Amino acid sequence: MKAVTRPMKVAVIGGTGLLGAKVVDRLRARGHEAVAVAPGPDAYPLTGAGLRAALDGARVVVDVIGHPGADAKEVLALCTAATRNVLAVAEAAGVSHHVALSMVGVGRIPGDGWFRAKVAQEGLIRRSPVPHSIVRATQFFESTPDVADTATEGRTVRVAPVPCQPVAVDDVAAELCRTVEGEPLDEPVEVAGPERFRLDQLVARALSARDDPRLVVTDPYARYFGAPARGRGLIPDAGRARITPTRFESWLRLPH
């Protein structure tokens, strides 16, 4: 991958969120003009309002937008509408590289919600004339409490004993910035942390570290954000992923 050393304008869609803000900070620290495009009256990817001004002069667009709280059908509609608007404006603005965050497991987990939305988003990006890179990340360390919350019944958390290889958000931000400064990729790249766990054991360890009294119960039929969590869907392809440095126990010791 050929590195870009000269400063450039980069528009970060979702640039005020947990991951997006880290991408913006890292790009600015490297001398780039990083513009955070966030939901609001002036620039919202769903409607397209304000996107033209945000993307004017941008060489790269990074799309890390999320749609928290949406149900399965709504998140599919929101994600595809936003992606169509971003791609249309990026093409008109002459953007030369569209970097999009996706998920490890896309196409391998026959689920709903985010999995269906990301499959649709990737298809739109691949069919667009804007050169692109798709970065598929494993689940974030930071999302482990959300996994527990969606699997909670009373004081019990039912989690499947499937393998996973979670990653720190800060490490994903670093990989996205690396991709921004390179040439567009022909194939999706996967990003994962350095360790594999069983998902049920990972959730139990995360809850214990927070002194959360909920009981994690191993359930092979438990779902992962509405999708069947079975097989190897949550881990990257062997030998092909970018492996990041932060270990889970080291991350737990950081202030959150």
Measured distance CA(228)–CA(110) in Å, rounded: 7
CA dihedral (252, 222, 115, 59) in degrees, to 10, reads 0
CATH architecture of 9-252: 3-Layer(aba) Sandwich (3.40)
pTM of the shown model: 0.92
pLDDT at 41: 63
> What residues does each domain of the chain span?
9-252
Question: One digit per residue, pLDDT tens: the chain, 256 residues?
Answer: 445 568 999 999 999 999 999 999 999 999 999 999 987 666 677 777 788 989 999 999 999 987 655 577 788 888 888 899 999 999 999 999 999 999 998 877 666 667 888 899 999 999 999 999 999 999 999 999 999 998 999 999 999 999 999 999 999 999 999 999 999 998 899 999 999 999 999 999 999 999 999 999 999 999 887 777 766 778 998 778 999 999 999 999 988 7
pLDDT at 1: 46
At how many degrees (to 10) do helices 18-29 and 169-180 cross? Answer: 50
At how many degrees (to 10) do helices 114-127 and 72-93 cross? Answer: 20
Q: What is the pLDDT of residues 112-152, one digit of tens each?
A: 667 888 899 999 999 999 999 999 999 999 999 999 998 99
The three-state (H, E, C) secondary structure of the chain, written as one string: CCCCCCCCEEEEECCCCHHHHHHHHHHHHCCCEEEEECCCCCCCCCCCCCHHHHHCCCCEEEECCCCCCCCHHHHHHHHHHHHHHHHHHHHHHCCCEEEEEEECCCCCCCCCCHHHHHHHHHHHHHHCCCCEEEEEECCEHHHHHHHHHHCEECCEEEECCCEECCECHHHHHHHHHHHHCCCCCCCCEEEECCCCEEHHHHHHHHHHHCCCCCEEEECCCCEECCEECCCCCCCCCCCCCEECCCCHHHHHCCCC
Residue carrying structure tokens 């191993």: 218
Q: What is the pLDDT of residues 24-41, one digit of tens each?
A: 999 999 999 999 998 766
**Rg value, the chain, Cα:** 18
Nearest CA to 39 out of 58, 59, 20 is that of 20
pLDDT at 70: 59
Measured distance CA(53)–CA(70) in Å, rounded: 28
